[in-house]
Structure 1
Amino acid sequence: MNTLQTTPLRRSRAFLTVFLKEVRENLRDRRTLTSAFLTGPLLTPLLFVMLISFTVNRELDKAEQPLKVPVIGAQYAPNLVGALEAGGVVPQPAIADPERAVREQRADLVLRIAPGYAEAWRKGEPVQVELIYDSSQRDSGTPVDRVTKLVEGYARQQGAMRLVARGLSPGVAVPVVVAKRDQATAQSRAVLMFNMLPYLFVLTIFIGGMYLAIDLTAGERERQSLEPLFANPVPRWKIFLGKLAAICAFSTASLLICLLAFGVTGRFVPTEKLGMEVNLGPAFALHVLLLQLPLIVLLAGLQSMVAAFAKSYREAQTYLSLLMLLPILPSIALMVMPLRPKDWMYAVPLLGQHLGILDLVRGEGIGAVPLALCLGGSALAALVVALVTMQLYRSERLAISG
């Protein structure tokens, strides 16, 4: 039997005793250890890096390897077909029903050249070729862009030659030229690939403490062990803070493992092939840990509060599974409604951490004011949630199962 249920706690050491008890007991729980130290912090970075690496390498291979394209009417435009071949396109025999072939995914795209191509070309009239594809097929994007650029490049070249043949400068056809000056750095471009990183960190924190939060509240309530614990002559708030500290310890350990895993696996992401640069080393990890510290307490308090309303372990799992949707809201909001960061946004829990981590990924760092707002806003929210949960711990109904 647990010593906390038979021996009165010393008031001066109540918090530490509860904390050590919960940590020690849950270190023996295989389910808690698996969720806190394996499932989230290790598998998430590994799967994230593998997915990105596979996608990047696959798209680059498709852009560099010979591209097989069925061509209808190739005999009408031999020079165009030759230009396509020079660009890595391998013309394939014509197919009878190109639209159906594309819809059935037997071909990513089909190039069709009209019989009147040669006559219109000789007259100097504009000619048209058709690219038949299905935009709903994800594999069609790269081949379509590749063939489109080759055809447009051939058209510009031939148009310039026509002007020269008439004694005109090719510049006559292009009175206005757009000169693009991209101010993005190699590191800032990495945000395009790593914009889900803040959500993964928060999800790791959430999963790291979830099962512990369920067990320390709904689990003990179901096992009818909360009532003997509350019978000790110790303030309920000390018991709650001890449990809260244990949840925070597991969440923090989970985040640290996740940061270490990203620091190692992040080196294998082929960002240099895309002209990007990302640094997920020790400096990045320390800044992320600082940003997430008040959020760890906030999420632990929310988990404890929600679990306190559940009468059984399974019921608490259901409630917290719904609560798990909360961390993804900032990511969805920024994808649907791209916002220009304002200082006040950093004071909003979850959103502030999301923006701060993206600043770190860009290599810009986070300023003193946004950092203070981020830490202050989340800390205030954590305090409010902790005070509300303390009130729940004072209720006698919490110790009663059923």
Structure 2
Amino acid sequence: MNAFSTVYWKEVRENLRDRRTLVNALITGPLLGPVMFIMLMNIMINQQLEKSDRPLSVPVIGAALAPNLVVALKSAGIDAAPAPSDPETAVREQRADVIVRISPSYVQAWSKGQAVQVELIYDSSRRDASTPVARVRNVIEGYGKREGAMRLIARGLSPTTAWPVQVAERDQATSQSRSALMFSFLPYFFVLTVFLGGMYLAIDLTAGERERQSLEPLFVNPVSRWKILAGKLGAICTFSVVSLLLSVAAFATAPWFIPTDKLGIALDLGLRFGAQVVLLMLPLILLLAALQSLVSAFAKSYREAQTYLSILMIIPVLPSALLSVIPVRAEPWMYAVPLLGQNLGIVQLLRGDGVPAWQMGLCLAGGFVAAILAVWATAWMYRSERLAISG
């Protein structure tokens, strides 16, 4: 058995016996995050769907002034309730999601064929109130358009006279591409899973062994340093791959628990999607393993390495955070940028567009070039005799 496989299997066996590494690498990262997200999304979506379907009770000020409007609201499942004395305070104190206030001059203006005023009092900062507000607004606007059309017809005019320009929408979004809006964070989750999957192992195999003073006996053996490093990187990558596979498998269960059919989206996170994600992530697995080993090599203790890698963890967040705040149109060169290329590629897979061979090639080429540079830097660090000395 050569030096690489000896070091590799030694590190894998030792860390399989370490409960802390197993929990953090194979449970906390790849499973806990997806499970929590799916549960939260399921609860949130069901709550919103329930609000959009169930009858609403909305306080209406001046309901007697507009009986036909009240009937239109009721036909849409919105019942007029008694109004509070101070509607603004009632909304601010969250005693009501939305309150309708009909102008006292409603009857007089309506009889003269003039525009009438109906106010919606609500708090736009309350996300839970957005669905009721939208329902009430749509009903009132629809009622206004119907009555406006009837006024024109009564005067012998076509209703289209009031709308000389009509917008015809041709939405090209598919049911699957719409799902990318909801799951656009997945690239960040996968990168973070890979990072956490190998982080604790990388710390233990470098800073941990340095603290335990077990690196020096290992380096004394007549074995090339790069073979020792290769065995350690192989073990880190193995844990990262397993962590990624568990995360992909966990997210594949999302369509079972999230009512995608009610949302009008199609979510395909099956075997083909998972296989392409793993392929896109391969260079990042090696890159992050090398960077974690390199950063850990500068630390003299396990705790110090944890601090350094916690700062390094910010890097995987950047592409997803930037793309969510500043949407950009993908350019060919972007696919060759590590992390950014994977982010764009996974979003395309979510949309159902697929990743063409040239884009996949750029992602893999750019990522592996960066990974090779990181491995070279780590190998150079492993040549230093100070690495084996603690304190």
The secondary structure found in structure 1 opposite 2:172 is coil
- Measured in 1, the distance between the counterparts of 2:18 and 2:263 equals 44
Shift of 1:341: 1.0
Alignment correspondent of 1:386: 375
Shift of 1:273: 1.0
| Counterpart check, 1:218 vs 2:226 | no
| Counterpart check, 1:304 vs 2:285 | no
Residues 309-324 of structure 1 mapped to structure 2, 5 A cutoff: 309-324=298-313
Return the match for 1:186 from 167, 175, 179.
175
Shift of 1:389: 0.8
Q: State the TM-score, normalizing by the size of structure 1.
A: 0.95
Deviates more, 1:45-54 or 1:74-83: 45-54
Shift of 1:265: 3.6
- Measured in 2, the distance between the counterparts of 1:89 and 1:264 equals 36
Moved beyond 3 Å, runs of 4+: none
- Measured in 1, the distance between the counterparts of 2:315 and 2:41 equals 25
Alignment correspondent of 2:117: 128
- Measured in 2, the distance between the counterparts of 1:327 and 1:350 equals 7
Structure 1 letter corresponding to 2:121: I
Alignment correspondent of 1:99: 88
Alignment correspondent of 1:3: none
- Measured in 2, the distance between the counterparts of 1:69 and 1:307 equals 60
| Counterpart check, 1:264 vs 2:261 | no
Residues 154-233 of structure 1 mapped to structure 2, 5 A cutoff: 154-233=143-222
- Measured in 2, the distance between the counterparts of 1:371 and 1:71 equals 58
RMSD over aligned Cα, in angstroms?
1.1
Q: State the TM-score, normalizing by the size of structure 2.
A: 0.98
- Measured in 1, the distance between the counterparts of 2:104 and 2:338 equals 63
Deviation per residue, 1:32-62 (Å, 9 max, x gap):
1111111112222212221222222111111
Where does structure 2 lack aligned partners over 5 or more consecutive residues?
none
Structure 2 letter corresponding to 1:178: V
Deviation per residue, 1:217-267 (Å, 9 max, x gap):
111111111111111111111111110110000000111111122223433
- Measured in 2, the distance between the counterparts of 1:171 and 1:321 equals 62
Return the match for 1:41 from 5, 30, 47.
30
Alignment correspondent of 1:242: 231
Alignment correspondent of 2:67: 78
CA contact (8 A) 1:343 1:369 kept: no
| Counterpart check, 1:117 vs 2:106 | yes
Alignment correspondent of 1:396: 385
- Measured in 1, the distance between the counterparts of 2:100 and 2:374 equals 62
Where does structure 1 lack aligned partners over 5 or more consecutive residues?
1-11
Residues 45-84 of structure 1 mapped to structure 2, 5 A cutoff: 45-84=34-73
Shift of 1:143: 1.2
| % same residue | 63
- Measured in 2, the distance between the counterparts of 1:281 and 1:97 equals 53
Alignment correspondent of 2:131: 142
- Measured in 1, the distance between the counterparts of 2:12 and 2:155 equals 85
- Measured in 2, the distance between the counterparts of 1:400 and 1:92 equals 77
- Measured in 1, the distance between the counterparts of 2:195 and 2:81 equals 53
CA contact (8 A) 1:49 1:266 kept: no
Alignment correspondent of 2:263: 274
